[in-house]
Amino acid sequence: MASFIPIKIRRTAKPSETEVKNVLNLTPSPENAQKPVIARYLRWLFWALIAAAIGEGVALICFFIVKPPLPFDNLMPPKTALVAYFDQTALKEIVVALSKNQYSWPPFNWAQETTKKFLAKNQLSSLDAISGLFDNKMALAILPKVGPRPAWLIFTTRQASRNDFDALLKQTTQQLKQNFDLADEDYRQTTITKVKELNQSQANLFYVQVQNYFLISSDLNALKETIDRVID
């Protein structure tokens, strides 16, 4: 007689209400929904900070390494202490405006009166006529101390034609000879003019025209070294 093995059939338990809701509701919970958004935001913020850091680094490199050359930068003496660049047209406009408003700063008044007296005493043309010979861009370099005072060097370029420039320079030189002792020194195909006050034993002002540059300095050696840089 065959034997029978009893088989028990277990009915599946009724799903809980929570499971039914999770199956029917496919929308993630607010906590889970915010996680991808926050992750994307953090990634975006991270790469934005990296890009900003790289951009700042490139800007610093461009500023300190590949910055555009300044006027006369290649002519500056190696031990220059300070360089001031200025636009003579803008500077004249400032001076005129200050004069009209009767600006009373003592150094400004002294410089203005000294310039007027110098031009009148030496019967020189007005500053407008003289400055019109030069380009607007000029530079003043303060050099290491020579003697009791720091030396200085002015850089500018000729704007007028060579004939007009030479004519006014010759006229200016002739007028200066009435009140100053002037002497010339030839140096490397240029002529340096030395200006000495009548009561002084040594010259304290030197100027020269070399190529398209006009240089004025209180130190002869600095002027000659600059001439070398222009020619070489």
| 10-residue averages of pLDDT along the chain (232 residues) | 52 52 50 55 62 65 57 82 80 69 60 62 61 80 76 86 83 81 91 87 88 90 92 88
Retrieve residue 86's tokens: 């200025």
Nearest alpha carbon to residue 175 among 123, 128, 130: 123
Interatomic CA distance for residues 87 and 42, integer angstroms: 50
Residue ranges of alpha helices (H) inside 122-160 are: 127-131
- The confidence score (pLDDT) of residue 106 equals 58
Q: What is the pLDDT of residue 24?
A: 45
Q: Taking Cα atoms as reference points, which of 193, 197, 170, 199 lies closest to residue 181?
A: 197
Rounded CA Rg of the chain:
40
How far is Cα of residue 40 from the mean position of the Cα atoms in its chain?
A: 42
CA atoms of 153 and 102, how far apart (whole Å): 30
Phi-psi region at 112: left, alpha or beta (left = phi > 0; alpha = psi -120 to 50): alpha
pLDDT of residue 46: 58
pLDDT tens per residue, range 116-152: 666 666 555 556 666 677 788 888 888 877 667 778 8
Q: Is the pTM of this model over 0.95?
A: no
Positive or negative torsion for Cα 204, 209, 215, 221: negative
Compute the distance between CA of residue 85 and CA of residue 217 in angstroms, rounded to an integer: 16
131: which residues sit within 8 A by CB, 6+ positions away?
Answer: 88, 92
Bridge-based pairing of strands 137-146 and 82-87 is antiparallel
* Residue type present at position 25: N
Q: How far apart are CA 80 and CA 143, in angstroms?
A: 5
